[in-house]
Amino acid sequence: NAGVTQTPKFQVLKTGQSMTLQCAQDMNHNSMYWYRQDPGMGLRLIYYSASEGTTDKGEVPNGYNVSRLNKREFSLRLESAAPSQTSVYFCASTLAGVYATGELFFGEGSRLTVL
Amino acid sequence: KNEVEQSPQNLTAQEGEFITINCSYSVGISALHWLQQHPGGGIVSLFMLSSGKKKHGRLIATINIQEKHSSLHITASHPRDSAVYICAALNYGGSQGNLIFGKGTKLSVKP
């Protein structure tokens, strides 16, 4: 069972470069999320998608864009990377839709360093 | 002030000890999650609860809605329980985008 798969696991970028983090789930989940995790802070929501075709900003969306390509895939793009975007990024999914909650399934994380 | 507070921040225990991790929240919630983050970084869901108590193996989670408090208990702790434990609260009436995460409790169980 693959669950939630995110790639790449590690990436080093130079300031100003762009990249896309890919996330795919095979559980037919409705909702997908992108979080960042920084030392000493809780997970913070960047963007989420409550269902295919919809995306919404979370707590820290600046500098990021997302695409819900289909029900399985939710990508996160950094158009012009900045050192402040050095972090560990997690993709997550849940069966529940909006205004509900369900068990969360997380990817293994992507460690991004911006020099 | 963070709306979800966990205590303690760090906890060291001897193998076999009973462990309690606390989570207090200041908002009205419809559900609360307990997550485990392994030393390698992966995050897994342990419990999701909105009332009462849930048990899975040596893990027990309780929640008191009136007191806005939840606890995670580990009985007969083992070194493999060493991890960061995170609670996350879903704002009452909020969408899934309104999960509020605590900063985590780092547990180390010594043999």
Strands (E), A1-115: 4-7, 10-13, 19-25, 31-37, 44-49, 56-57, 64-68, 74-78, 87-94, 105-106, 110-114
Contact yes or no for B97 and A48 at CB 8 A? yes
For B85, list phi and psi in degrees, rounded to 5: -110, 130
Residue among A42, A102, A104 whose CB faces B104 most closely:
A42
* Beta-bridge mates of residue A50: none
Alpha-carbon gap, residue A73 to A20, rounded angstroms: 12
Under the banding of pLDDT at 50, 70 and 90, the label for residue B92 is low
Residues of chain A in contact with residue B95, where contact means CB-CB under 8 angstroms, are 50, 56, 98-99
Q: Which residue has the tokens 């369900």?
A: A102
**Which residues in chain B have their CB less than 8 angstroms from residue A58's CB?**
97
pLDDT on residue B29:
82
- When the pLDDT of each residue in chain A is averaged and rounded to a whole number, the result is 91
Q: Please say if the pLDDT value at position A4 is more than 70.
A: yes
Smallest CA-to-CA distance from A44 within A99, A97, A85 is with A85
Of all residues in chain B, the one with the smallest CA distance to A89 is: B41
Which of these ranges, A40-49, A54-63, B32-41, B93-102, has the smallest mean pLDDT? B93-102
Q: Where are the alpha helices (DSSP H) in chain A?
A: none
List the 8-67 stretch of B: residues with Cβ below 8 A of A.
30-31, 33, 35, 41-45, 48
Summarised one tens digit per residue, pLDDT across range B8-42 is 999 999 999 999 999 999 878 888 999 999 987 89
Q: Is the pLDDT of residue B94 over 70?
A: no
B42: nearest CB among A33, A44, A109: A109
pLDDT at B53 over 90: yes
* Chain A residues inside the 8 Å CB shell of B88: 42-43, 104
